[in-house]
Amino acid sequence: MSRRPRGPRPGIVVATLLTAALALAGCSAGAVTQTDTIVSQAAGARGQVGDIVLQDVSLDAGPAESVPAGGEIFVRGTLINQGATADRLVSVSTPYAVGARPEGQLALPAENAVRMVGAEPVPIGPGSLDTRLAGAMRIALTGVTQQLRPGPTYAVTFTFERAGAVTVPTIVVGAGPSVG
């Protein structure tokens, strides 16, 4: 009489390994990953022209989630002058609005920064927000030509007296409808 060796049969081992491999390969198929909800802390775009750096630039819809055609939307972010010579914001334009209404601190002192406050109801002008900044400005893009909503980027061009022009791809950020 011959005895069979004890232990798993090779056919069963191969079948088990193949089944496990298929199961593991399909684990994430169609599933929502944990990282899909991670949002960058810097919501805005970045750009640079000459000594001027634009940081965290976005379009602020205020309490709304989007802005309808004909409405107005505000620009948010920081303008940093890294140079030894002062500069000045001359204009802001976009194909998505008929005009722009800048107000407040438009001069960018050498080696200093100015904050674009968006839709925040805060004072604007020289030294109005933070002692580390030269001041604050508010830029309203008026006569929006189409609905602006979160998701796509919208080109906004900033023109400075000395540094020149730079276009940055901005996103719409808004509070949206309240839940509760």
Q: For position 26, what pLDDT does the model report?
A: 54
Q: For position 177, what pLDDT does the model report?
A: 52
Identify the CATH class of 43-174: mainly beta
Q: For position 87, what pLDDT does the model report?
A: 97
Q: For position 137, what pLDDT does the model report?
A: 93
d(CA 180, CA 170): 29
Weakly modelled stretches of the chain, pLDDT under 50 = 28-42, 178-180
pTM of the predicted model as reported, rounded to 2 decimal places: 0.72
What is the domain partition of the chain in residue ranges?
Answer: 43-174
> Which residues does 62 contact at the CB level (< 8 Å), separation at least 6?
74, 118, 119, 174, 175
DSSP string, 6-69: SS--HHHHHHHHHHHHHHHHTTTTTPPPGGGG---S--SEEEEETTEEEEEEEEEEETSSSB-T
